[in-house]
Amino acid sequence: MKIYDFKVPKRDGSELDLKTLEGKVILVVNTATGCGFTPQYEGLETLYEKYHETGLEILDFPCDQFGHQAPGTDEEIHTFCTGKYKTKFDQLKKIEVNGDKAEPIFSFLKGAIPEEEVRGMKNKLAMGAIDKMVPKAAKEKGYIRWNFTKFLISRTGEPAFRYAPTTNPLEFEDDIKKLLGVN
């Protein structure tokens, strides 16, 4: 199975067939507008502006499962992102990433890469705090622990990397360049 086998809900109610992204490097992220990690939108937009022309796509899925940090409608979230962070990549429909109502693409990604690498002591301490707030996160294999968990997909549609919520998007720019085949 590859990411191209999925269709995902767009904020306008239609579906995005991921087959239309075949051959692209895709960054999938669950986001929230009221999270301590929300400023990561700046890094996401920087990467998008730098690498979109060479094949990077960002799939931004707002998610309200963690501390009700993504309140509002899909349109309100989109207005916030484009207004505050000047994002040019689109926000999709608000979804769930864990549990019985998890969006199928996230079930696939969690199964493909069940653990994220947490780099650096500061990030490890922050993830430890998250695990205390969400005890199930530390116990259930593949569980998405918080907003801004990121999955990087290769041009062949296979999940290549999973990054912790604490990982700033600019920290894995080299991984993106490698998958894009650019210097």
Residue-range domains of the chain with CATH: 24-180 (3.40.30.10)
Residue of 25, 35, 56, 95 with catalytic role? 35
At 27 the three-state DSSP class reads strand
Q: How confident is the model at residue 35 (pLDDT cuts 50, 70, 90)?
A: very high
Higher per-residue confidence, 119 vs 106: 106
In the residue annotation, 63 being an active-site residue is answered as no
The residue-averaged pLDDT of 80-108 equals: 96
For residue 112, CA distances in Å to 16, 37, 54, 79 come to: 21, 24, 25, 32
Measure the CA angle with vertex 51, ends 146 and 28; round to 5°: 25
Question: What letter represents residue 47's amino acid?
Answer: L
As a whole-number percent, the residues of the chain with pLDDT over 70 amount to: 98
Give bridge partners of residue 102 from the DSSP assignment.
96
Task: Determine contact, residues 122/54, Cβ cutoff 8 Å.
Answer: no
Question: Does the structure show a pLDDT above 80 at 136?
Answer: no
Q: What is the 3-state secondary structure (H, E, C) of 126-159?
A: HHHHHHHHCHHHHHCCCCCCCCCCEEEECCCCCE
Tell whether pTM > 0.75: yes
pLDDT at 135: 72
